[in-house]
Structure 1
Amino acid sequence: MSGKGFTVDLSKPLVFQVGHLGETYQEWVSTPILTEESPRFFESDFLEMFTRTLWWVVPVIWVPVGLYFIRLSYTMGHTLPIVVILAIVGAFVWTFIEYCFHRFLFHIDTTSYWGNTFHYLIHGCHHKHPMDGLRLVIPPAEAAILALMFWNLYGILFTLSTRPVMFGGGLIGYVMYDMIHYYVHHGQPTKQSLKSLKKYHLNHHFRIQNKGFGITTALWDGVFGTLPTTKAAEKSG
């Protein structure tokens, strides 16, 4: 059975169920369950192990890797000021990559069995269970695959000596992204800047899911016209 005739059993592994929802998947996955429960994805304990990640694993793994690549460009002849500037540029480039991934991949509109299954694995699960702290940051295995893809891409885009620092800066930007994303879901910010980020992102989850794709910054939402409207603007409209 699929579509309107199928009901997901939340007490059983979810990943190979959600595809059967067919055209009703988008409505189902956009209706959040507001508990911190971490539902089971797979029957296999081995596969299940790769779906859960503690937040602190991300900086422990990727900050040293990012710093290694940044230092590599320094050892290849770039001055320290240039390396610092390029690392900042690399982190800034990440914010654009982050926006594109979130808008064009994480929010694809799917109806097929495998399309729904893929979407649920990469992002749908986060919208269905937004408070699941073990599935909020990107698992290291998945991040390593993406990192390898971008390392190869950067080999085409940049020179031999600038490639490492741009890549390393991007990794530091990625760590900032995942840490901010975790914090806006589970932290209690006192600074106004972090309060605004938290409000901005939770607005994406619970009010307008097709706007507000930026996590570390709203810059690209402003550039590409995906800033969410305010409640006041909606009422006046």
Structure 2
Amino acid sequence: MSHKKGVQKGRIFKNPVLEALSRTSPALTLGGYLPPVFFLIYVYFAYHSERLGIANGIMVFFGGVIFWTFFEYMMHRYVFHWISESAFVKRMHYIMHGYHHDHPRDEERLFMPPWAGWLIIGVLYLSQIFILKGYTYAFLPGMLIGYLCYVFVHYSTHKYKAPRPLKYLWKHHSLHHYKYPDKAFGVSSPLWDIVFGTMPPRQDRKEGDMRGL
């Protein structure tokens, strides 16, 4: 296991099987997450749209996309940056997010492996079905599309030069990595940083520290 910062690639697990399973790619991510999206949407239109409505389903879908940005922010701020003296929590934190801060340019760990994502999808489905019932089949795929937007924005910020229309997102994430680890938690959107007061100082946002991206 490597904790050396600045090295493009390191190890999380000594076990070679776990180490291999912790790595993924854009193609594996799309192949792992798009089938559940299509399946859930199919179930909504095939079994629920007549009763719940197509227009309602579309609105709930986009509600899921927007809710993802809030979910992303809360997870990043309170779970991925959870500080604890517990050895177990420290280890879990390193696996989930600490490694990424040590090796932000390791392309094979800029996505969550699909097998881990399927477990989370299962938990989200079971929690939502009791509250949203049939609308789950519109809301959850919206969240998953929001997730895919998030991970591909995140991947791009670490791999490609910022396109002019999205330069503010590249700057925002760069400031989180290299200057303000306690701010700029939103990756796909700065919306919740604005709402909850975790935006970097205005002058830094204007200058945009882009080191390493």
For the aligned pair, the TM-score class normalised by the smaller chain equals: 0.7 to 0.9
Q: Decide whether the 8 Å contact of 1:70 with 1:166 is kept in 2.
A: no
2: CA distance, partners of 1:60 / 1:191: 29
In structure 2, relative to structure 1, the CA distance for the partners of 1:76 and 1:114 (3 Å cut) is: same
Q: Which amino acid aligns with 1:203?
A: L
Match of 1:170 among 137, 143, 147: 143
Match of 2:55 in 1: 81
Match of 1:231 among 172, 178, 203: 203
Match of 2:130 in 1: 156
Match of 2:97 among 120, 123, 129: 123
Q: Identify unmatched segments of 5+ residues in structure 2.
A: 206-213
Give % identity.
Answer: 29
SS of corresponding position for 2:125: helix
Q: Decide whether the 8 Å contact of 1:74 with 1:80 is kept in 2.
A: yes
60-69 vs 214-223, greater mean Cα deviation? 60-69
TM-score, structure 2 as length reference: 0.88
Q: Across the two proteins, how many residue pairs are aligned to each other?
A: 202
Per-residue deviation at 1:137?
Answer: 0.7
Q: Identify unmatched segments of 5+ residues in structure 1.
A: 1-12, 19-31
Match of 2:192 among 220, 226, 229: 220
SS of corresponding position for 1:157: coil
Q: Which amino acid aligns with 2:157?
A: V
CA root-mean-square deviation? 1.8
Q: Decide whether the 8 Å contact of 2:12 with 2:99 is kept in 1.
A: no
Per-residue deviation at 1:232?
Answer: 6.1
TM-score, structure 1 as length reference: 0.80
Match of 1:113 in 2: 87
Match of 2:209 in 1: none
Q: Decide whether the 8 Å contact of 1:71 with 1:165 is kept in 2.
A: no
Q: Which amino acid aligns with 2:197?
A: G
Q: Decide whether the 8 Å contact of 1:181 with 1:215 is kept in 2.
A: yes
